[in-house]
Structure formats: C-alpha cells, structure tokens
Amino acid sequence: MTDLPHVDLAELNADKEENIRQRREFIRKYVEWLKKTPNAVWSAQQNRMLSKPKAKA
C-alpha cells in the first residue's frame, strides 16, 4: 500500500485562509474597476467568461 503524504493541517488551514483573503481582495479590486468601467466593457468581459467553452469531463 502506498504511504500517504504528510499533511500539516495547520499549514493547510493557513493557506485556505490566505486564499479566502486573496479572493476577497480580488472582489474589492474588481468592484473598484467595475464602478468606473462602462457597462458595455465589463458586460462583454463577463459574457466571454460565462460563455467560454467548457472542458469535457
């Protein structure tokens, strides 16, 4: 049986919290940008993201 890798839960949890912090920081930046960007520009970007081709499972 293959040995499982060592897991440091404290380190993983710290990484998870940091990832959450970074995602929220992204949302703050995104809203700042959105507020000063014409609707035609941000909605075209959002539309490209929503309509992007999906990878096959």
Partner 1 sequence: MEFTFEKGRIRFDRELSELDVFVRKFVDALDACGIRYVVISGYVPILFGRSRETEDVDLFIERTSQEKFTELWNRLSADFECINAANASEAFAEYLSNDTALRFAYSGSFIPNMEVKFPKRDLDRYTLDNRVEVILNGRSLFISTLELQIAYKLFLGSEKDLEDALYLWLLFKEHLDVETLKRHAVQLNVSEKLRDLK
Nearer to partner 1, 2 or 51 (CB): 51
Tell me the closest approach of the beta carbon of residue 13 to partner 1, in angstroms: 14
Query: Which residue in the set 31, 53, 55, 56 belongs to the binding site for partner 1 (CB under 8 A)?
Result: 31
CA dist 36 → 31, 47, 49, 51 (Å): 9, 18, 20, 24
Which residue matches tokens 């919290």? 17
Around Cβ 42, how many Cβ atoms within 10 Å? 15
Interacting residue ranges for partner 1, rule: CB under 8 A: 20, 23-24, 27-28, 30-31, 34-35, 37-40, 42-47, 49-51
